[in-house]
């Protein structure tokens, strides 16, 4: 039987998971970066101190990279507080999660460990194994030179190749390197053609040093561009007279939605067929086997002025809503999206106006869906409180059996409440960062209804942990 303490623990973990999915310590529409960071710091310290096992298990969930790195740092910094069994599981989860993080974030984490003087045997082993698994040490030496150099020093490791040691630690370089990438870096200091053999982020600095015209440089470096670099540079390359051909349909769905929203509205209208096809393709790929299995789906999507986000997270809430719109269209057998602005053309969405969530929820329920998903920051203000009242009446009077599941996904962390803002007590709410995580979050949101306790949540986390570790085996 669940005790009161168990229910509190379950709520605390769900509170933290919502924060770890949405919060990045950056400014939001209604909270400064300092407020975000202070609130997030408290949650990490609280969960680590009270529920270390559950805190560790969140590494297997769809939390964002910022908080995953923060959890790894905290676990390694407080290794003395863990039992031998806990350290074994933590080590496996940390290794698996580090393998998923972008390398620049991992090198930044290693730098934080060095500054915190965390240098125990487990930390050195984790760093050693991650560095040994890197597919191209020469690429890391060129692209992440300071990070690799610091990691090798801190973990007391010998570079995997003698030339890497010379490249990283000796001020005077040899006349030539046998490793092509290292030699290209050496020659790029005085030979323009050599820089086109380097990664784009490294070559860009050499291009500026040599004063190369931007258009010429982008045209020649095109074969070296990664998929995300190609997307990021597409518009600037067009302006410079060299447009790298980006296959938009292969982009991650939420990243693609951010790209689309970053284009001026007239440009989106002119490229409607291309952009809509790319978003639909990305949504179908994300839906996978679940495509068309969700029945009749309605979504209420927030494109009010607050969906702009902030200068640091520009249009991020709106991107989550747009990506969710296309993904739900792929998941549902039938689908309709109801935007708070009342507009019907999702591709031309832009932040504007108040947030009449209650009115749009009425419209969505009137369509008689099998499932209703609300994507909003939860600030219902036209009129205030209508959404909560509509949902209360719907759940208590019109649909007390819960025949039509309603889930609220919130892409914005509310620093003041240490959680994402909720619409109504009877409606489960989960944090949302990437629409790709939407199916898993809808499942996780069921735990937030208060009908399940710590035992069920532990089972869910154990299953996710086992699957997460198995994927990396």
Same domain, 175 and 48: yes
Position 443 scores a pLDDT of: 76
Around 311, how many Cα atoms within 13 Å sit in the side-chain half-sphere?
A: 2
- In whole angstroms, give the CA distance from residue 235 to residue 259: 10
Of 192, 219, 246, the last residue of a domain is 219
- Secondary structure letter of residue 168 according to DSSP: H
- In whole angstroms, give the CA distance from residue 153 to residue 49: 31
- For residue 412, give the 3-state DSSP assignment: coil
- In whole angstroms, give the CA distance from residue 113 to residue 72: 10
> Which helix (DSSP H) or strand (DSSP E) does residue 104 occupy?
helix 103-115
The 10 Å Cβ neighbour count of residue 22 is 28
In a domain, 307, yes or no: yes
Same domain, 209 and 73: yes
Over residues 90-113, mean pLDDT:
96
- For residue 387, give the 3-state DSSP assignment: helix
Same domain, 212 and 275: no
Reply yes or no on whether the pLDDT at 452 is more than 60: no
Residues above pLDDT 90, as percent of the chain: 71
In a domain, 469, yes or no: no
For residue 86, give its domain range: 4-219
Position 312 scores a pLDDT of: 86
Q: pLDDT tens for residues 16-55?
A: 999 999 999 999 988 899 999 999 999 999 999 999 999 9
- In whole angstroms, give the CA distance from residue 327 to residue 455: 31
Helices in 262-414 by DSSP H: which ranges? 265-270, 272-287, 316-331, 357-366, 386-393
Structural domains of the chain, count? 2
In a domain, 471, yes or no: no
54 compared with 1, residue with greater pLDDT: 54
Q: pLDDT tens for residues 251-292?
A: 899 999 999 999 999 999 999 999 999 999 999 999 999 999
Pull the structure tokens for residue 321.
Answer: 């809503």
CATH code for position 380: 3.40.50
Same domain, 156 and 264: no
Same domain, 196 and 54: yes
* 33-50 helix and 65-77 helix, angle to the nearest 10 degrees: 50
Same domain, 211 and 266: no
- Secondary structure letter of residue 421 according to DSSP: P
Same domain, 202 and 264: no
3-state percent helix, strand, coil for the chain, nearest multiple of 5 = 65, 5, 30
Reply yes or no on whether the pLDDT at 222 is more than 60: yes
Same domain, 119 and 22: yes
- Share the mean pLDDT of the chain: 90
Q: pLDDT tens for residues 169-195?
A: 987 778 889 999 999 999 999 999 999
Same domain, 297 and 171: no
Over residues 415-437, mean pLDDT:
90
- In whole angstroms, give the CA distance from residue 318 to residue 332: 21
Range with lowest mean pLDDT among 40-44, 67-71, 423-427: 423-427
- In whole angstroms, give the CA distance from residue 335 to residue 349: 18
In a domain, 226, yes or no: no
Position 238 scores a pLDDT of: 54
């Amino acid at each position: 039987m669940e005790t009161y303490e168990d229910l509190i623990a379950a709520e605390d973990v769900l509170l933290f998971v919502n924060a770890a999915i949405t919060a990045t310590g950056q400014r939001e529409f209604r909270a400064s970066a300092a407020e975000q960071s202070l609130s997030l710091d408290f949650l990490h310290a609280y969960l680590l101190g009270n529920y270390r096992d559950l805190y560790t298990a969140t590494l297997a969930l769809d939390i964002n990279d910022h908080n995953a790195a923060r959890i790894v740092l905290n676990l390694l910094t407080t290794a003395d507080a863990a039992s031998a069994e806990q350290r074994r599981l933590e080590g496996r989860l940390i290794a698996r999660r580090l393998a998923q993080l972008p390398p620049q974030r991992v090198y930044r984490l290693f730098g934080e460990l060095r500054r915190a003087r965390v240098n125990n045997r487990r930390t050195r082993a984790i760093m050693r194994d991650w560095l040994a698994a890197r597919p191209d040490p020469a690429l890391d030496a060129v692209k992440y030179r300071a990070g690799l150099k610091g990691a090798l020093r801190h973990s007391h490791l010998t570079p995997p190749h003698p030339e890497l040691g010379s490249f990283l630690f000796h001020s005077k370089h040899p006349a030539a390197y046998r490793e092509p990438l290292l030699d290209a870096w050496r020659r790029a200091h005085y030979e323009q053609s050599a820089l086109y053999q380097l990664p784009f982020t490294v070559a860009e600095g050499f291009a500026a040093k040599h004063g190369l015209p931007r258009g010429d440089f982008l045209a020649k470096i095109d074969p070296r561009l990664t998929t995300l670099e190609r997307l990021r540079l597409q518009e600037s390359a067009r302006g410079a007279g060299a447009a790298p051909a980006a296959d938009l349909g292969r982009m991650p769905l939420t990243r693609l939605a951010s790209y689309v929203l970053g284009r001026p509205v007239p440009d989106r209208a002119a490229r409607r067929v291309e952009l809509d096809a790319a978003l639909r393709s990305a949504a179908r790929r994300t839906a996978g086997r679940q495509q068309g299995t969700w029945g009749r789906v309605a979504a209420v999507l927030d494109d009010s002025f607050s969906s702009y986000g902030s200068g640091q997270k520009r249009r991020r809430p709106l991107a989550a809503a747009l990506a969710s719109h296309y993904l739900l269209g792929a998941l549902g057998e039938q689908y309709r999206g109801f935007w708070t602005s009342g507009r019907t053309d999702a591709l031309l969405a832009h932040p504007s106006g108040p947030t009449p969530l209650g009115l749009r929820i009425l419209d969505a329920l009137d369509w008689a869906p099998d499932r209703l998903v609300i994507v909003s920051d939860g600030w219902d203000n036209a009129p205030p409180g209508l959404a909560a009242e509509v949902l209360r009446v719907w759940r208590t009077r019109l649909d007390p059996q819960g025949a039509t599941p309603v889930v609220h996904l919130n892409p914005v962390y509310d620093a003041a409440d240490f959680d994402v803002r909720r619409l109504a007590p009877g409606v489960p709410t989960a944090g949302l960062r990437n629409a790709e995580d939407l199916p898993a979050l809808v499942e996780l949101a069921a735990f937030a209804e208060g009908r399940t306790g710590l035992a069920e949540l532990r089972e869910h986390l154990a299953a996710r942990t086992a699957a997460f570790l198995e994927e990396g085996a």
